[in-house]
Amino acid sequence: MNYESTIRSGLQPAIEPMLDDGTPGAPDGGRSRLVIVGLVIAVALGLAWYFMHRSPAGTDASAERNAQAQSVTVITPGRTSVTGTITASGTIAARREMPVGVAGEGGQVVSVLVDAGDWVRAGQVLAVVDRSVQAPQLVGQAANIEVQRANARIAQANLDRALKLVERGFISKADVDRLTATRDAAVAQVRVASAQLDQLRASTARLNIVAPAAGLVLSRGVEPGQIVSPGSGVLFRIAKEGQFEMQARLAESDLARLAVGQSADVTPVGMSKPFTGQIWQISPTIDPQTREGIARVALTYDPALRPGGFASAQLRSGTVIAPLLPESAILSDQQGPFVYVVGLDNKVQRRAVKTGDVTAQGIVVIDGLSGNERVVMRAGGFLNPGDSIRPVRAGSAPAPGRPGA
């Protein structure tokens, strides 16, 4: 064996077998099978790892949606006892206003004894009318009564004498009857004259303008020297017993919620102090033009209350137990007021509601909520039904990295 044979025999295993046409032959079958088995094992191990570590179906998408959902503040309102109030406006007026004018035939006013703001008693003279004509008439009529009485005495004396002469036969029965009739006529004339004097006195007394009842003089419309008559109109206005009221104008829906006896706080314009009163009358009719009625609130006298002035009132319309929501939680559109309620799946749902009184603590929801729901407190205008959110209860901190809505 020479050197060349030795080299060739050492390289022989590395030389790939040749086919008859001179091309390289296929790899060794054993090695190929090993490679294939290794690949199958690697794939099987990879699949096993995947199925062991993958999340359930849809969890990745849900997690992604949760990561994208915004944090929204929610509130569970519960049910609160709320005293209902109705705000109204109106005017201050006398509860019972009495217009006073000329009751008699009138004349020239001599003096006016009271002014606006004075208190008067029943029957007190407010203004004196000249009676220079009536005074002599009273004197003359009094004298006429004395004349008639004298005639009656004479007629009675003649009758008495005649009755004495009848017994002696000097006067007939017919003469006695005539004298009796004369006496009766004279007595009747006395009564007629007395009645005329009373009538004249009453007519003279009616010249004075007097207060029909005790109260506060609200206005004065007459001055000394003025000629007054039954056609002169109202000369004085008096608030009977000084009682005032506020005439609160209300929509018929609000009027139906009130009852006589409920209290109210009345605040005149320009004042901060309220006056407490009670509803004493509710209008039995509604104005067909304005669809409003009047609730009359009785007020006690106070110098700060000026009839004719404007005032506002807070009328208490009873107590209700209902959910109370902040104004930001209640939205409204063409279909009416509504709120967004958060379901168990943290998706918002639209819920129609009916609102009631507006208080300092919030708005009363009288229908649509039980009070146990989670209601979106803010940012409802940026949500749509079906949106997923991350609810954050009012007063708690939002999720890290996500600002609360």
Whether pLDDT at 402 is above 50: no
Identify whether the C-beta of residue 390 lies closer than 8 Å to the C-beta of residue 399.
Answer: yes
Long-range CB contacts for residues 279-284, cutoff 8 Å, separation at least 24: 279/315, 280/95, 280/245, 282/255, 282/258, 283/255
Element (DSSP H or E) covering residue 83: strand 80-94
327-384: per-residue pLDDT in tens?
888 998 888 899 999 988 888 999 999 987 777 788 888 888 988 989 998 877 788 8
CATH architecture observed for domain 88-95+243-319 = Beta Barrel (2.40)
Residue 219: per-residue pLDDT:
92
> How does the average pLDDT of the chain come out, rounded?
80
- Give me the sign of the Cα torsion angle 128, 130, 133, 139: positive
One-character DSSP codes across 324-366: EE-GGG-EEETTEEEEEEE-TTSBEEEEE-EEEEE-SS-EEEE
Residue 401: per-residue pLDDT:
40
Cβ contacts of 110 within 8 Å, gap of 6 or more: 128, 129, 130, 224
Residue 169: per-residue pLDDT:
67
Question: Under CATH, to which class is 131-206 assigned?
Answer: mainly alpha
87-140: per-residue pLDDT in tens?
899 999 999 999 999 887 888 898 999 999 999 999 999 999 887 766 777 787
C-alpha 80, offset from chain centre? 21
The model's confidence at residue 80, banded by pLDDT at 50, 70 and 90, is confident
Residue 221: per-residue pLDDT:
92
Query: How many C-alpha atoms does 239 have within 13 Å on its Cβ side?
Result: 25
Residue 29: per-residue pLDDT:
56
**Cα separations in angstroms, 367 against 83, 232, 257, 320, 351:** 17, 59, 16, 12, 10
Q: Is the pTM of this model over 0.75?
A: no
107: DSSP letter: E
Q: What are phi and psi of 214, to 5 degrees?
A: -70, 145
Residues 389 and 383: their CA atoms lie apart, in Å, by: 9
Token digits of residue 285:
């009719």
Q: Which residues pair with 265 in a beta bridge?
A: 276, 314
Token digits of residue 165:
């002469």
Q: Where are the beta strands (DSSP E) in 241-291?
A: 244-251, 263-268, 275-282
Residues 177 and 156: their CA atoms lie apart, in Å, by: 12
Residues 284 and 192: their CA atoms lie apart, in Å, by: 51
Whether pLDDT at 54 is above 60: no
Identify whether the C-beta of residue 91 lies closer than 8 Å to the C-beta of residue 299.
Answer: no
The model's confidence at residue 14, banded by pLDDT at 50, 70 and 90, is very low
Question: Mean pLDDT, to the nearest integer, of 262-279?
Answer: 91
Task: Look up the CATH number of domain 100-128+209-240.
Answer: 2.40.50.100
**Cα separations in angstroms, 61 against 26, 76, 110, 384, 387:** 50, 29, 101, 20, 15
Strands 70-75 and 389-393: parallel
End-to-end CA distance of the chain: 95
198-233: per-residue pLDDT in tens?
877 877 777 788 999 999 999 999 999 998 888 888
Residue 26: per-residue pLDDT:
47
Question: Mean pLDDT, to the nearest integer, of 252-274?
Answer: 89
Residue 193: per-residue pLDDT:
85
The model's confidence at residue 51, banded by pLDDT at 50, 70 and 90, is low
Q: Which of 160-164, 365-369, 399-403 has the lowest mean pLDDT?
A: 399-403
In terms of pLDDT, which residue wins out, 245 or 53?
245
**Cα separations in angstroms, 178 against 159, 189, 190, 239:** 9, 17, 19, 61
Helices (H) and strands (E) in the chain, counts: 6, 23
Question: Mean pLDDT, to the nearest integer, of 26-38?
Answer: 66
Residues 212 and 341: their CA atoms lie apart, in Å, by: 66
Residue 294: per-residue pLDDT:
93
Q: Which of 16-20, 129-133, 293-297, 306-310 has the lowest mean pLDDT?
A: 16-20
CA-based R_g, the chain, Å: 55
Angle formed by the axes of helices 134-166 and 173-205, to 10°? Answer: 160
Whether pLDDT at 15 is above 50: no
Question: Mean pLDDT, to the nearest integer, of 232-244?
Answer: 92
Residues 149 and 193: their CA atoms lie apart, in Å, by: 9
CATH architecture observed for domain 68-79+323-393 = Beta Barrel (2.40)
**Cα separations in angstroms, 377 against 69, 334, 338, 361:** 16, 21, 12, 14
Whether pLDDT at 239 is above 90: yes
Whether pLDDT at 178 is above 50: yes
Which percentage of the chain shows pLDDT scores above 90? 25
Token digits of residue 342:
């958060």
Identify whether the C-beta of residue 243 lies closer than 8 Å to the C-beta of residue 298.
Answer: yes
Residue 392: strand, helix, or coil: strand
Residue ranges per domain, the chain?
Answer: 3-52, 68-79+323-393, 88-95+243-319, 100-128+209-240, 131-206
